[in-house]
Chains A and B, each alone.
Chain A
């Protein structure tokens, strides 16, 4: 049993040598391929726009102010979409690195 730490260290070294030991940051996270990023950015923009338009349309229906709130929330939705893409590259909360 007293050989355990030694064995662990050697195993770790061997695994690191053969590339099995993942380095703590970088291996986790979203796929970084150009297609993945591109598709994600597109989805983020469209979904923010959809939500913005949805909110504006619903408020207009409720308050009877068509089309003004729709227009306002359309612009806000596009801004939110741009911000989503910005967050994609600069997340404001990074996972804690210990």
Chain B
């Protein structure tokens, strides 16, 4: 990270520091927590305030709320089937939380809480525990046949079962690492190119012209990051639905 002289400090943006003065310091309330609360409040605000009118022809906020609702609803029922309606509130809450976390991170001075593996892994573990509990409660002991695909030769069981178990346990890891890595990579790139702009711009008249290139890259990156912010929330939700489908239908 640290180049000589003027450092390119791309990672300090992910550092946590307490907010809200003394109270925040005392309870360890960091910006990540603050932005989680903001994300939840914004989601609730969008749904409660946006749907307040209940107009037949929706206004802007109402149609935004309805679109996001229907989008996730279609996603869950499309992946899990009709049984998936039970899990819609869970997936919707997850999707909105991740989406708002990603999008809030795009605001200047904001903190991206989805860029912390602790946060994404906690979310993924919730998903993992849920799918395991759902699968066991629906299928009982039959759930464990999931780790041995039918038709495989019995003699390979000592090999297949550990592999399947590892594969199953790798789900929360891959789910969380995907979101975390995407958000970190995007924000590091933004910061690096933004630092290039400043470094080159401070190098006199030639540098100002040179700084145009990283600035252009940054403009493109911001657009790309908005895409990633949405896409990763979508991927998180759809993988949750795929796992739920596996849990409900098992094979």
Contacts and interface: CB of A to CB of B under 8 A. Distances in A.
A91 B251 CA distance: 10
Given A28-B78, A40-B178, A84-B174, A92 B251 contact: yes
Contacts of A55: 166, 169
A68 to B, nearest CB: 14
B235 A43 contact: no
A92 B240 CA distance: 16
A77 B178 CA distance: 18
B235 to A, nearest CB: 7
B238 A29 contact: yes
A92 B246 CA distance: 9
Given A28-B75, A31-B231, A43 B174 contact: yes
Interface string A46-84: 111011100100000000000000000100110111011
Contact of A51 (B80, B149, B173, B238): B173
B166 A48 contact: yes
A30 B74 CA distance: 14
Interface in A15-50: 28-31, 39-40, 43-44, 46-48, 50
A48 to B, nearest CB: 4
B173 to A, nearest CB: 4
Contacts of B75: 28
A79 B163 CA distance: 7
B163 A76 contact: yes
Contacts of A5: none
Interface residues of B, number: 31
B177 A46 contact: yes
B251 to A, nearest CB: 6
A3 interface: no
Contacts of B159: 76, 79
Contacts of B239: 30
Contact of B167 (A31, A80, A93): A80
B201 to A, nearest CB: 31
Contacts of A31: 231, 234-235
Interface string B171-210: 0011001100100000000000000000000000000000
B79 A28 contact: yes
A48 B242 CA distance: 18
A80 B170 contact: yes
A87 B251 CA distance: 13
A96 B170 contact: no
Contact of B166 (A43, A77, A92): A77
Given A40-B178, A92-B251, A96-B81, A48 B170 contact: yes
